[in-house]
Amino acid sequence: MSWITKTLTSSIGRKIIMSLTGLFLCTFLVVHLVGNLQLFKHDEGLAFNTYSHFMGTNPIIRTIEWGLVLGFGFHIYEAFALSRRNRAARGTQGYVSNHSEQNSEWTSRNMGILGSIILIFLIVHLYNFFWRARFGGLPKVGGNDLESRDLDNLYLAVVDSFHVWWYVLLYVAAQISLGYHLWHGFRSGFQTLGLNHRKYTPLIKYVGYAFAVVVSAAFASMPLYFYLFTNEQGDLKAAIAAPIMHAVASAF
Amino acid sequence: MLLDSKLPEGPLAEKWDKHKFNVKLVNPANKRKYDVIVVGTGLAGASAAASLAELGYNVKAFTYHDSPRRAHSIAAQGGINAAKNYQNDGDSVFRLFYDTIKGGDYRAREANVYRLAQVSVNIIDQCVAQGVPFAREYGGLLANRSFGGAQVSRTFYARGQTGQQLLLGAYSALSRQIAYGKVKMYTRSEMLDVVVVDGKARGIVTRNIITGEIENHAAHAVVLATGGYGNVFYLSTNAMYCNVTAAWRAHKKGAYFANPCFTQIHPTCIPVSGDYQSKLTLMSESLRNDGRVWVPATKEIAERLRKGEITATDIQEDDRDYFLERKYPAFGNLVPRDVASRNAKLMCDEGRGVGSTGLAVYLDFADIIKRTGAEAVSQKYGNLFAMYEKITDENPYKLPMRIYPAVHYTMGGLWVDYNLQTSVPGLYATGECNFSDHGANRLGASALMQGLADGYFVIPYTIGDYLAQTPPTPVSVDHPAFAEAKAGVQARTETLLAIKGNRTPDEFHKALGLIMWEYCGMARTEKGLLYAKAEIQKIKKAFWSDVKVVGTGEEMNQALEKAGRVADFIELGELMVDDALNRNESCGGHFREEYQTPEGEALRDDENYAYVAAWEYQGENQPEKLNKEELTFENVKLTQRSYK
Amino acid sequence: MAGSNPNAKPMNLTLNVWRQPNRQAKGKIVEYHVKDISPDMSFLEMLDVLNEDLLHTNQDPVAFDHDCREGICGSCALFINGRSHGPEKGTTTCQLHMRKFSDGDTITIEPWRASSFPVNKDLSVDRSAFDRIIQAGGYVSVNTGGAPDGNEIPIPKEISDRAFEAATCIGCGACVAACKNASAMLFVSAKVSQLALLPQGNVERKTRVENMVAQMDKEGFGACTNIGSCAAECPVGISLENIAILNREFLAAKATSNNLA
């Protein structure tokens, strides 16, 4: 084995890969989230569909996409490799009585379970949107607008899905898992890279908590919003729209 | 046999250098042909094993612990002395020498002590180079403190954990040699006999603590660094495993045991809380720098305290007796350990002791807390205060600490010459295991110094002198002496298992400890010692007919280990009593009530007792033969110690 | 005879103790009862009481490691009620006192569990893996005798203090025992950062961390997932910051050392 493979397959090396891919995936989450916020624009999906078209066709984005595939791939592979190693290290005879809840956070001990939930979601999610967008199966937007009529109407697919109760449930559950996963993962990534300093570590920790809450809450808000507040076309239900509008108006 | 201490000729300051030049050297190419066994991996053992391996010898190191890092050197809190004079306060090699000789009440060899002071400076350099994190000043240089009543600041320290850091330094040096293959490390191996072939030490017999296997190991020389025997008192500040077995078996094979009655009682320990107590915990002597020692002025007040009717803080200033400050205005609370201990005992004997048992005095920090604030006190003593609270459940920031003396160190040990060789050729003893440097009383922060001096800087030179005169032919365990020694160990193990009596090894140990503490502890009388001797003989007889050990010898069997150690303690106890009876004087840690000045201080008899009592084993149940090594003092004037 | 607290009431306890005759044998939990335990006793003194009882009734006493009983040698290693060294923070088993328990309590006592720490007997485990990790590089290669004057290298007090804090590790293994992954990172990192912080350790800085981590992996310890149980259970408070230092040292060494192996 060369020094590189030796380094990367050592216990710390594997953790460094986990950390680098994890933090990279965090940046992906930000981009993905910002893009998805277009869903909330009440323009019948125009902005969202333009955005998704750009993401699906731009060569730079398509190249980075491979990075993303590798990022996910390694993050998941290393997670399995580390879990196996760590289970072996613990040994066959476990503790009869173990109160680890008294010395550590639940999330920190259950990154594997949280990650697995996210993985299941990811597969469903990829099939549902990515696969159909990339390899066909989505209707065109249609209409008279020259710029938009040939775009895939991913918006409608999203709104459709967000009216399926079990999908919304899976989506929200996955976002809760993601939140807990990030709660530990964000600061853990820095620690693994050795970025621990008594001045900055507290900051990293709280930024990580904020990141976890904001990102997962924002993602979860989308299916909930469409399921609860809109009709099949993504328009606000009148019964709900009025009081909300009223509330917003009176708030100002 | 004549005791030849092999002291070099010439002026004191040149003896060691001259000796180093005069000792024979082993050819570098030949060093790998010599095997050396080192038993014990504390400061003295680990430093010796590492240094000998660095020189090229093949070392086999043994410890009964699971790792060489666990030896009780690790528990030393205060620090290590060295005559660096970094503080520009008048320290020098001669002053350290002088203080050590005087502190030892003139019962140590001048040449050994001078050498100790000389190499003390090298120890600090060596340890710093190893990465030992000694305390430092803001300028980045090493910090010192004054310790144990010394008039200069020569003590180097690493917070309250100096012993730990020094041991880990020696352990790291040892680990490096293990990695190089120059040291073969045997953990969980307890030495149970020395093998003597044609009058020379040629190996040891060990028992593997996990499997119970009895093994022979051969070498050209054997170094014992097996520590002190304070656990003969059952309760001491020694660790639970500390024992005399290795030294005692060597003694039975011909090594003389010197000054066994010289034991040090440390004044600042946490008092006994009940009869389940398994050991005592030391509170660093540095506490006496700021704490004030007192007891109630009258028995009546003490009585009310013990009943819990009042607490220490209820007692008015006028009703307190700061007895050390009263009796020793010059040194006050900083009098040497033996003086402080004895006075605490006196107060308790007068019925003025505190705590529910009445066997404690107060060490009060109220003044310093008032003067500098609790924060400053916590900076200095925080970890000690926390430890005290953990054990006693009392907050020393609010209530004064309760302290009482406890056995802490044994100055006596295997007799060794200037080369640290015992009376058995090829058998060496280093550290607390030997008797050589502290006389009748050891100064604070000197135990670490001596252990490392012996291991790093003395034995590597002196053992070469012996090996150079030993042919480098391979040694083996084939000689009948090995089979015989092994059979002896096996027979003893079987005997212990076969008795199947009613009393546990711990019960015998406790019984022995009570006798030793009462009659051969802080104060001794002829009558008491005679009584103790008879009692110990009874305990010995009872032990060999009534001890209870279950299980077998072929497994991990802690009760069996303990039984073997207690058996040796009983025999040692009797020798200590004999030694205390023989020494009709008081000196240092040996206080015979018949021999005291009108002020109650130890009264030496330099005319008749300025000698080392080296006891020679004569066989089972035979009185031991006393050999005397006269001590001559050419560089110091013998004076009566006075700390008034 | 009560000690510091004359009002403390003696306790009766039920003990569930792991018994295992030797490394190969299968172990099990055995229930024992101890009576009249003083709250001033240390936990190990309570076990002494149990062992004396067992010996008197011709039963094999429970084997456990202990020595200094002052919290510094690192010998004692009991997993008490699901926690390394029991419920009290910053405390070794030997410094845990029975006043932390109540009359009638049931206490479960197990050995450290990790495949790198096989059980010798009952509650005693083999921690020689730690020694082998130190042998792989936990030292400064200086032979006796050649050292320069101790004051030749000034070391800032702050650096020296931090090195000291890392150096206080007692090698008990509580970190491994508490860690879900049986990772030895806190132990290894304490030694690596002590020597990385000090100028004396600088010379062998890269090879040290490379070799110690390689040995740690070879011993079969798990990988650190930054759970933090180790530092929370460490009786001497070794900080997680050391693990970050170890990661950093490892990465830097691997990236820049000349070692191609």
Q: Which of B407, B406, B458 is nearest to B429 (CA)?
A: B458
How far apart are the C-alpha atoms of C176 and C187, rounded to whole Å? 8
How far apart are the C-alpha atoms of B540 and B566, rounded to whole Å? 10
Q: Do chains B and C touch (3 or more CB pairs under 8 A)?
A: yes
In a domain? residue A100: no
Q: Is C20 on the interface with A (CB under 8 A)?
A: no
CA of C130 vs chain A CAs: smallest distance (Å): 14
- Give the pLDDT band (50/70/90) at residue B1: low
In a domain? residue A97: no
Check if the beta carbon of residue B436 is closer than 8 Å to that of residue B449: no
Check if the beta carbon of residue B587 is closer than 8 Å to that of residue B609: yes
Q: Do C223 and A184 touch (CB under 8 A)?
A: no
- Give the pLDDT band (50/70/90) at residue C2: very low
For residue C51, give the chain B residue with the closest CA: B559
Q: Do C68 and B74 touch (CB under 8 A)?
A: yes
* Distance (Å) of CA B274 to CA B393, B403, C45, C69, C111: 14, 15, 11, 16, 28
Q: Report CA Rg, chain C.
A: 21
In a domain? residue A113: yes
Chain C residues with CB-CB distance to A12 below 8 A? 213, 223-224, 246-247, 250-251
Q: What is the CATH number of the domain that holds C248?
A: 1.10.1060.10
Helical packing angle, B558-582 and B505-520, nearest 10° = 20
Q: Is C226 on the interface with B (CB under 8 A)?
A: no
How high does pLDDT run on average in chain B? 95
Note the pLDDT tens digit of each residue in C13-32: 999 999 999 999 999 999 99
CA end-to-end distance (rounded Å), chain B? 43
- Say whether both C154 and C171 belong to one domain: yes
Residues C171-182 have a mean pLDDT of 98
Residue B142 tokens read as 């090493």
Structural domain harbouring C112? 11-121
pLDDT at B94 over 50: yes
Q: Report CA Rg, chain B.
A: 24
- Say whether both C110 and C133 belong to one domain: no
In a domain? residue A37: yes
pLDDT at B632 over 50: yes
- Say whether both C210 and C145 belong to one domain: yes
Last residue of a domain, one of C76, C98, C121: C121
Can you tell me the ipTM of this complex? Answer: 0.97
In a domain? residue C5: no
Note the pLDDT tens digit of each residue in B195-233: 999 999 999 999 999 999 999 999 999 999 999 999 999
pLDDT for res B410: 97
Q: Do C75 and B70 touch (CB under 8 A)?
A: yes
Chain C residues with CB-CB distance to B277 below 8 A? 45
Residue B256 tokens read as 């003389």
Residue C119 has phi, psi (to 5 degrees) of -75, 130
- Say whether both C113 and C187 belong to one domain: no
Beta bridge partner(s), residue C124: C121
Note the pLDDT tens digit of each residue in B532-568: 999 999 999 999 999 999 999 999 999 999 999 999 9
Q: Do C241 and A196 touch (CB under 8 A)?
A: yes
Which of the residues A78, A103, A182, A196 would you substitute to probe the C interface, choosing the one with the greatest number of C C-beta atoms within 10 Å?
A103
Amino acid at B197: V
Note the pLDDT tens digit of each residue in B356-398: 889 999 999 999 999 999 999 988 888 889 889 999 999 999 9
Q: Do A108 and C225 touch (CB under 8 A)?
A: yes
The neighbour count for residue B527, using CB atoms within 10 Å, is: 11
Q: Is C114 on the interface with A (CB under 8 A)?
A: yes
Pair type for strands B611-616 and B257-258: antiparallel
pLDDT for res B2: 67
Task: Let me know if B59 is exposed, middle or buried by CB neighbors in 10 A (0-12, 13-18, 19+).
Answer: buried
The set of chains that have 3 or more CB pairs under 8 A with C is: A, B
Q: Do C127 and B66 touch (CB under 8 A)?
A: yes
Per the document, the length of chain B is 644
In a domain? residue C6: no
For residue A111, give the chain C residue with the closest CA: C225
For residue B138, give the chain C residue with the closest CA: C157
In a domain? residue A81: yes
Check if the beta carbon of residue C31 is closer than 8 Å to that of residue C25: no
Chains A, C: CB contacts within 8 A come to 153
In a domain? residue A10: yes
- Say whether both C225 and C151 belong to one domain: yes
pLDDT for res B585: 97
Check if the beta carbon of residue B618 is closer than 8 Å to that of residue B626: no
- Say whether both C134 and C250 belong to one domain: yes
Residues with Cβ < 8 Å from C144, sequence gap 6 or more?
B47, B50, B51, B54, B126, B173, B456, B457, B460
Q: Is C201 on the interface with B (CB under 8 A)?
A: yes
Share of chain B above pLDDT 90, in %: 90
- Say whether both C56 and C37 belong to one domain: yes
How far apart are the C-alpha atoms of B77 and B148, rounded to whole Å? 12
Helix (H, G, I), strand (E, B) or coil at B62: strand
Give yes or no: B604 in active site.
Answer: no
For residue C2, give the chain B residue with the closest CA: B274
Residue located via tokens 């150079």: B468
pLDDT at B523 over 60: yes
pLDDT below 70 — which residues of chain A?
1, 241, 245, 248-249, 251-252
Last residue of a domain, one of C56, C91, C121: C121
CA of B139 vs chain C CAs: smallest distance (Å): 7
pLDDT for res A245: 66
Structural domain harbouring A19? 3-87+107-251
Q: Do B550 and C95 touch (CB under 8 A)?
A: no
Note the pLDDT tens digit of each residue in C31-79: 999 999 999 999 999 999 999 999 999 999 999 999 999 999 999 999 9
Give the distance, in angstroms, between the CA of residue B525 and the centroid of all CA atoms in the same chain: 24
In a domain? residue C261: no
Q: Do C99 and B308 touch (CB under 8 A)?
A: no
Note the pLDDT tens digit of each residue in B457-500: 999 999 999 999 999 999 999 999 999 999 999 999 999 999 99
The set of chains that have 3 or more CB pairs under 8 A with A is: C
Last residue of a domain, one of C68, C93, C121: C121
pLDDT at C5 over 60: no
* Distance (Å) of CA B530 to CA A122, B88, B235: 87, 51, 22
Residue located via tokens 């290693």: C77
How far apart are the C-alpha atoms of B217 and C56, rounded to whole Å? 36
Which of the residues B20, B159, B168, B387 would you substitute to probe the C interface, choosing the one with the greatest number of C C-beta atoms within 10 Å?
B168
Residues B161-168 have a mean pLDDT of 96
Q: Do C97 and B240 touch (CB under 8 A)?
A: no
In a domain? residue C177: yes
- Say whether both C133 and C223 belong to one domain: yes
In a domain? residue C99: yes
Task: Let me know if A146 is exposed, middle or buried by CB neighbors in 10 A (0-12, 13-18, 19+).
Answer: exposed
- Say whether both C201 and C88 belong to one domain: no
Helical packing angle, C43-56 and B505-520, nearest 10° = 120
Amino acid at A37: L
Looking at the 3D structure of chain C, how many domains does it have?
A: 2
In a domain? residue C61: yes
Chain A residues with CB-CB distance to C224 below 8 A? 11-12, 15, 192
Q: Do C16 and A7 touch (CB under 8 A)?
A: no
Residue B565 tokens read as 């150690």
For residue A107, give the chain C residue with the closest CA: C227
Chain C residues with CB-CB distance to B129 below 8 A? 140, 142, 146-148, 200
Chain B residues with CB-CB distance to C67 below 8 A? 65, 70, 72, 239-241
Q: What is the CATH number of the domain that holds A70?
A: 1.20.1300
Q: Which of B419, B570, B566, B561 is nearest to B493 (CA)?
A: B561
CA of B119 vs chain C CAs: smallest distance (Å): 10
In a domain? residue A9: yes
For residue C111, give the chain A residue with the closest CA: A95
Share of chain B above pLDDT 70, in %: 100
Q: Do B240 and C67 touch (CB under 8 A)?
A: yes
Closest Cβ–Cβ partner in B135, B176, B210 for C120: B210
* Distance (Å) of CA C13 to CA A136, B362, B422, C175: 70, 34, 51, 28
Q: Is C136 on the interface with A (CB under 8 A)?
A: no
- Catalytic annotation, pick one of B107, B115, B337, B352: B337
Angle ∠(A227,A229,A233) on CA atoms, nearest 5: 75
Angle ∠(C88,C92,C95) on CA atoms, nearest 5: 80
pLDDT for res B200: 97
Beta bridge partner(s), residue A91: none
How far apart are the C-alpha atoms of A33 and A218, rounded to whole Å? 8
CA of C113 vs chain A CAs: smallest distance (Å): 7
Residues C117-124 have a mean pLDDT of 98
Q: Do B457 and C156 touch (CB under 8 A)?
A: no
Q: Do C228 and A6 touch (CB under 8 A)?
A: no
Q: What is the CATH number of the domain that holds C38?
A: 3.10.20.30
Q: Report CA Rg, chain A.
A: 21
Interface subset of C 44-73, CB within 8 angstroms of A = none
- Say whether both C106 and C225 belong to one domain: no
Which of the residues C80, C254, C260 would you substitute to probe the A interface, choosing the one with the greatest number of A C-beta atoms within 10 Å?
C254
Element (H, E) at B484: helix B480-499
Q: Do A96 and C87 touch (CB under 8 A)?
A: no
Q: Do C135 and B387 touch (CB under 8 A)?
A: no
pLDDT for res A109: 96
Q: Is C84 on the interface with B (CB under 8 A)?
A: no
Check if the beta carbon of residue B340 is closer than 8 Å to that of residue B267: yes
Residue-range domains of chain B with CATH: 267-408 (3.90.700.10), 480-606 (1.20.58.100)
Pair type for strands B263-269 and B401-410: antiparallel
How far apart are the C-alpha atoms of A220 and B196, rounded to whole Å? 82
Chain A residues with CB-CB distance to C27 below 8 A? 93
In a domain? residue A96: no
How far apart are the C-alpha atoms of A210 and A198, rounded to whole Å? 19
How far apart are the C-alpha atoms of C79 and B229, rounded to whole Å? 32
In a domain? residue C1: no
How far apart are the C-alpha atoms of B260 and B573, rounded to whole Å? 9
CA of C255 vs chain B CAs: smallest distance (Å): 25
Q: Is C239 on the interface with A (CB under 8 A)?
A: no
Amino acid at A240: I
* Distance (Å) of CA A137 to CA A132, A144, A167: 5, 21, 19
- Give the pLDDT band (50/70/90) at residue B598: confident
In a domain? residue C35: yes
Amino acid at B377: V
